[in-house]
Homo-oligomer: A and B are copies of this chain.
Amino acid sequence: MHAQILVDWSTSVKPGDKVLLRVNPGAYELALAVTAELAKRKASVVYSLEDDDLTRAYLFASEKGDVPEPNHFKALVEASDVIMGLYAPSDLKTLQSTDPAKLMAYKKARRNIFDCLMKKRWCDTIHPCKAFADQANMSFNEYKEFVYGAVLVDWDLQSKHMYVLKHKLGQHNEIRIIGKGTDLHARTDGRQWRVDDAKMNLPGGEVYTSPVEDSVEGKILLDIPFRYQGTIIENVRLKFEKGIVTDYSAEKGEQMLNAILDVDDGSSRIGELAFGMNPGIKRATLNMLFDEKMTGTMHLALGKGLIDCNGTNDSAIHVDILRNLRSTEIRMGEETIYTDGRFM
């Protein structure tokens, strides 16, 4: 079922499509299942092996600043029609002792590839694995149920729900978020609200935009912990002036937050504003692919804006950070669109 949704709903694979599967070793079983579905649809397939262990081995042995662009990988991505990421890391802490400057250089060297990938039909998903189960503080079986609860959704129906919200949001030009530690304002005129109905992420379930970058003013508390390059970052507070982060703090992982903001000019600006809409995701599991879709949350991203929303912010990174919407009010113009834990 998971493989079928990926191939049919998420990426609409057609005969002759050239499909790239980006595979963690732990996602091998899912790769086999997807392979069979691709063969039935007469698509061709290539597998790129990807894993934090390999990244770590590379960066550990490299000199600082020495990360050449893998242009041959770009050629592969360019020649592909559909790109699926099948993730199942064996160890989430693999990169935590790697020099953050080297990691950033590594990401920068892959930036053109990422840009190119985003223009394809692409979808990222996970295969249940022990590392994610541990991170979610669940047993492996419990975690499998959680994953498939989020993935095996009636996407056609859920898509319709999300489009209703998207149209509502699109009628306004500004948004204001008010709540504990938070009073943030941004303009959204000229920007598109979009729906992630599992066509790019599986699970999907989010309605998002890139707000007008320079218009972001005020402060926000992002109270749901997340992991970046192996480090937990918690209770992030950001202050924006004319769209730029001018003050920040984090209860945990502040050094990593600082590194994120320092990557480039764009990494201290907003790239995304979004609401989680997956009915199967009711708790955070420290996995952004799931957390950002959690019902009753919003998130913003530092870094690269979303081209499909007319976002213009440029950056090598895009880092999502979440806020629980409990006791938060969201206003668009004069209208309150969210309060008391739900959309009006």
Q: B72 to A46, Cβ gap below 8 A?
A: yes
**Is A18 an interface position by the 8 A CB rule?**
yes
In the assembled complex, which residues on chain B have CB atoms less than 8 Å from the CB atom of A109?
44
- CB neighbours (8 Å) of A59 from chain B are 39
In the complex, the answer to whether A61 meets B40 with C-beta atoms within 8 Å is yes
Copies of this subunit? 2
Q: Taking the nearest CB of chain B, how far is it from the CB of A185, in angstroms?
A: 43
Is A116 part of the binding interface, using a Cβ–Cβ cutoff of 8 Å?
Answer: no
Q: A68-B16, A73-B76 are in contact. Are A58 and B42 (CB under 8 A)?
A: no
Chain B proximity of A190: nearest CB distance (Å): 36
* Residues of chain B with a CB closer than 8 A to A75's CB: 75-76, 78-79
The listed residue (B28, B36, B58) touching A36 by CB distance below 8 A is B58
Size class of A's contact patch?
35 or more
- Chain B neighbourhood of A15, CB < 8 A: 68
CB interface residues, A 122-145, toward B, < 8 Å: none
CB closest chain-B residue, reference A28: B25
Also in contact, A71 and B44, with CB within 8 A (given A35-B61, A58-B36): yes
Contact of A79 among B37, B67, B72, B80 (CB under 8 A): B72
Give A295 Cβ to nearest chain B Cβ, in Å.
Answer: 35
Residues of chain B within 8 A (CB-CB) of A37 are 61
Interface centre among A31, A35, A37, A38 (most CB of B within 10 A): A35
Contact segment of A48-56, A262-270, A330-338: A48-56
* Cβ contacts under 8 Å, A44 to chain B: 67-73, 109
A14 to chain B, nearest CB (A): 11
Which of these, B39, B46, B70, B78, contacts A48 with CB under 8 Å?
A: B46
Bound complex: CA A61 to CA B70 (Å): 33
Tell me, yes or no, whether A32 is within 8 Å of chain B by CB.
yes
Whether a CB of chain B sits under 8 angstroms from the CB of A66 is: yes
Question: A74: nearest residue on chain B (CB-CB)?
Answer: B79
Q: Does A248 sit within 8 A of B, measured CB to CB?
A: no
Judged by a CB distance under 8 angstroms, whether A43 is at the interface is yes
Inter-chain contact A79/B68, CB cutoff 8 Å: no
Q: Would A39 and B58 count as touching, CB distance under 8 A?
A: yes
Taking the complex as formed, is A88 at the interface, i.e. its CB lies under 8 A from any CB of chain B? no
Starting from the known contacts A18-B71, A39-B61, 13 additional A-B residue pairs (CB-CB under 8 Å) come to A23-B49, A25-B28, A39-B60, A42-B68, A44-B67, A44-B72, A47-B54, A49-B49, A72-B79, A75-B75, A75-B78, A75-B79, A76-B76
Could you show 17 A-B contacts with beta carbons less than 8 Å apart?
A: A18-B71, A31-B54, A35-B58, A37-B61, A39-B62, A39-B66, A42-B62, A44-B68, A44-B69, A44-B70, A45-B58, A46-B70, A46-B72, A72-B80, A73-B76, A75-B75, A75-B79
Residues of chain A whose beta carbon lies under 8 Å from any beta carbon of chain B: 15-16, 18, 20, 23, 25, 28, 31-33, 35-40, 42-50, 53-54, 57-63, 66-76, 78-80, 109
